[in-house]
Amino acid sequence: MTKEASTTPAGSKYFVRDATGLVREFSALDTLLIASAMVFALVFTTNQFAWFYGNTGGANLSLSLLVAAVPFVFLMISYYVVSLVIPRTGSDYVWVSRIFSPSIGFAWALLYMFVVFFVAYVGEISAYSSAFGTILTTSGILGSSSSLASLGSFFGGAVGAFELAIIFTILFGLFAVFGTRLVKGVIYGSWIAAIIGIIVMWYILGTTSQATFQAHWNSMLVNNAISGLNSSSSYSSLYNTAVGLKAPLYSGGYSSVIIALPLASLFLFGGNYISGFGGEIKNIKRSIPIALFLSLIFGIIFWVVTAQLTLNTVGANWMTAVGWNWDNNAANATRYALPFAPNQPLMVAVAVYPNTALIYLFFVMYIVGSIAPLFAYFWIPTRYLFSWSFDRAIPSKFASMSQRFNTPYLAVLAIVILGIILSYVYEFAGWSSSFTVGSVVWGAAYVIPGLALMVFPFVKKNLFEQAPGFVKAKIGGLPLISLVGLITAIGFAYLAYIGTTSTAVIGVVSLSATYFVFELIIAVIVIGFVGYFVSKYYYKSRGIDISLAYKDIPPE
């Protein structure tokens, strides 16, 4: 930790303290596990397949992932460079704010953090609650327990989902405050369960035919006193009802791949988010590239295998049609006859029915194995709040550190409160609309860091000259990383263009909910700019020019 502090001409320090107080405690393996958890995990399979195939008219997810991987490779290279040059907490925020301007950097980072937190944490807590409710309901059906099934219905509803979100958010806040050792314990313990759960899931789906799945669906769920489902919820009735409502069928060809790219990209987001705690990673030159590129590779493998096995078992046309009906008519019982989403825990349980031992093993591994990604998406935003506070873009109090645990406890408290508020908002906007719009905006957010990398060699010449050798490589006199930044910006701008202009993506979600989410995002941007200038003039009235802090890189 450096003990030096930059000063204003008058000699007053404009950093909050001589050093951040954060400690480099995360190894290469720790970083890889956190990055991987944010790209692929059991909880991400909950509603994603029904959502993706239903919203894209049955596009080929595997092929879409391979095409989407191209801009993601450049994104990972961009974040590798950023993390090498500025290995700091909240490094992409530090990067953008120092290259463009403090106000742009803060407004962009606020939007980016908000969208990621809203989609990946709040959204997945909602999905987790849906899965948890389905697991309880299914357990009630298997054990002939109406009370357990009723409890599952409660947690599958809006009130239960909100209450579960409050419980998890508070628990995660406690984990985050009590330090790195507990954080690592949560990550490692959850990952062990996740690996077991993934193996069990792949085994079940890989050994179950579509005909067997259909028979199991009807025998397990239809005309069951506990489930309360009748013949309208049979495998064929659900499909026929959806087709009668003009639901699309699985296309699987090349024509729909491009249109589906903005939504396919969501399956690959997250690995680069580790730059948010760059100041706490050991041997960052080795740890960061391992985490960035392996998480992307493992993520593609996971999603391709899981998607293909799921479609082979459930039926591609069935998943697309029923998924579309759930996306559009979940609240209409005469159109969508199931009281829960066609989610992955349900599909796996039906596939292996009546083997209750294997069903319960998967359920337990799913519940425990989903904790790591949920916690990671809760925990990293606290580091952004800390970085903003360190620069005084928000009150410096949020950079206060616990002397015992070396954690920014007030930043954690702020994220706890935000998580609870947004969980309430999420239930109003709805899962499909929030996830769809949020996915598009999430991708669009990467245009800014790409552009920042493009101009970096020209705007920060001294920092560029001090960078590692390959970062300074040139092609025909033009810095190679400028080309990487330009391609990154163009790639994600194109994805955003597709997402905002294609009726196949945006047109299928609720207009009122879509407008609400977009208005919320615009409000966040405005708050970012206004908040920065309010903070700037507040500190200026106290004789502190916070813009000077943005002329240097924060201490480690």
In a domain, 478, yes or no: no
> Is the pLDDT at 503 greater than 70, yes or no?
no
Neighbours of 227 (CB within 10 A): 19
The two tokens of residue 245 are 């409502």
Contact 507, 60 (CB under 8 A): no
Average confidence (pLDDT) over 3-11:
39
What local confidence, expressed as pLDDT, does residue 337 receive?
92
What lies within 8 Å, CB to CB, of 121 at 6+ separation is 374, 377, 378, 381, 419
- Give me the pLDDT at residue 429, please: 60
Does residue 22 surpass a pLDDT of 70? Answer: no
- Written in H, E and C, the secondary structure of 392-425 is CCCCHHHHCCCCCCCCCHHHHHHHHHHHHHHHHH
Residue that has been written with the tokens 């930043």 in this structure: 411
State yes or no: pLDDT of 16 exceeds 50.
no
The HSE-up count of residue 42 (CA atoms within 13 Å, CB side) is 30
> Between the CA of residue 474 and those of 224, 470, 471, 480, 495, what are the distances in Å?
68, 9, 9, 5, 28
What is the pLDDT averaged over residues 167-172?
94
Does the pLDDT of residue 180 top 80, yes or no?
A: no
532 domain-assigned: no
Q: Which of 127-141, 364-378, 434-448, 532-546 has the lowest mean pLDDT?
A: 434-448
Give the side-chain half-sphere CA count within 13 A for 493: 11
**DSSP string covering 208-270, please?**
--HHHHHHHHHHHHBT-TTT-B-GGGSHHHHHHHHHHTT------SSTTHHHHHHHHHTTTTT
Q: How far apart are CA 60 and CA 20, in angstroms?
A: 46
Domain annotation covers residue 523: no
- Cα(186)–Cα(371) distance, rounded to whole angstroms? 7
Residues in the chain: 556
The mean per-residue pLDDT over the stretch 125-154 comes to 90
pLDDT at 370: 93
pLDDT at 4 over 50: no
What pLDDT is stored for residue 504 in this prediction?
56
* Number of domains making up the chain: 1
User: What letter represents residue 270's amino acid?
Assistant: G
Tens of pLDDT, residues 314-346: 999 999 999 999 988 888 888 999 888 899 999
Q: Can you give the pLDDT at residue 422?
A: 87
Q: What is the mean pLDDT of residues 117-145?
A: 89
Confidence of residue 282 (pLDDT cuts 50, 70, 90): confident
Ranges 105-119, 277-291, 506-520: which has the least confidence: 506-520
DSSP assignment of 101-168: -HHHHHHHHHHHHHHHIIIIIIHHHHHHHHHHHHHHHHHHHHTT-HHHHHHHHHHHSHHHHHHHHHHH
pLDDT of residue 434: 67
Amino acid found at 384: Y
Of all residues in the chain, what percent carry a pLDDT higher than 70?
A: 90
Q: According to the model, what pLDDT value does residue 3 have?
A: 36
User: Are 231 and 223 spatial neighbours (Cβ–Cβ below 8 Å)?
Assistant: yes
For residue 10, the SS3 value is coil
Amino acid letter, 61: L
**pLDDT computed for residue 430 by the predictor:** 62
Note whether 299 and 264 are within 8 A (CB): no
Q: Is 439 a member of any domain?
A: no
Q: φ, ψ for residue 429 (rounded to 5)?
A: -70, -35
The pLDDT, as a whole number, for residue 13 is 45
Residue 506 lies in a domain: no
Domain encompassing residue 394? 28-430+539-551
Q: For residues 48 and 166, give the distance between their C-alpha atoms in angstroms, rounded to a whole number.
A: 23
Residue 555 has pLDDT above 70, yes or no: no
Whether 255 has a pLDDT exceeding 90, the answer reads no
Lookup: tokens for 76: 């990972």
- Mean pLDDT along residues 229-242: 94
Which among 80, 109, 465 has a CA at the least distance from the CA of 281? 80
Whether residue 523 has pLDDT greater than 70: yes
Evaluate whether residue 438 is within a structural domain. Answer: no
Q: What is the pLDDT of residue 9?
A: 38
- Evaluate whether 275 touches 92 at the Cβ level (below 8 Å): yes
Q: What is the pLDDT of residues 26-45, one digit of tens each?
A: 888 999 999 999 898 899 99
Average pLDDT over residues 438-452: 88
Smallest Cα–Cα separation from 531: which of 376, 437, 398?
398
What is the share, in percent, of the chain residues with pLDDT greater than 90? 49
Task: Flag whether pLDDT at 399 surpasses 90.
Answer: no
User: What band does 348 get if pLDDT is binned at 50, 70 and 90?
Assistant: very high
pLDDT tens sequence across 379-397: 999 989 988 988 899 988 8
Confidence band for 472, pLDDT divided at 50, 70 and 90: confident
Cα diameter, the chain: 80
111 burial (CB, 10 Å; 0-12 / 13-18 / 19+) is buried
Q: Is 452 domain-assigned?
A: no
- What does the pLDDT read at residue 439? 75
CA distance 458 to 454: 9
Domain CATH for 41: 1.20.1740
Task: Provide mean pLDDT across the span 75-87.
Answer: 89
Q: Average pLDDT, whole number, for the chain?
A: 86
Residue 407 lies in a domain: yes
The count of C-alpha atoms lying within 13 angstroms of the C-alpha of 154, restricted to the half-sphere facing its C-beta, is: 10
pLDDT for 91 equals 86
Note if the bond before 354 is cis, omega within 30 degrees.
yes
Lowest mean pLDDT segment, chosen from 301-310, 416-425, 511-520: 511-520
308-313 mean pLDDT:
97
Cα distance between residue 371 and residue 43, in whole Å: 8
Distance of CA 428 to the CA centre of its chain: 20
State which H helix or E strand residue 311 sits in: helix 284-314
pLDDT at 398 over 70: yes
Q: Mean per-residue pLDDT for 481-509?
A: 81
Q: What is the mean pLDDT of residues 339-359?
A: 94
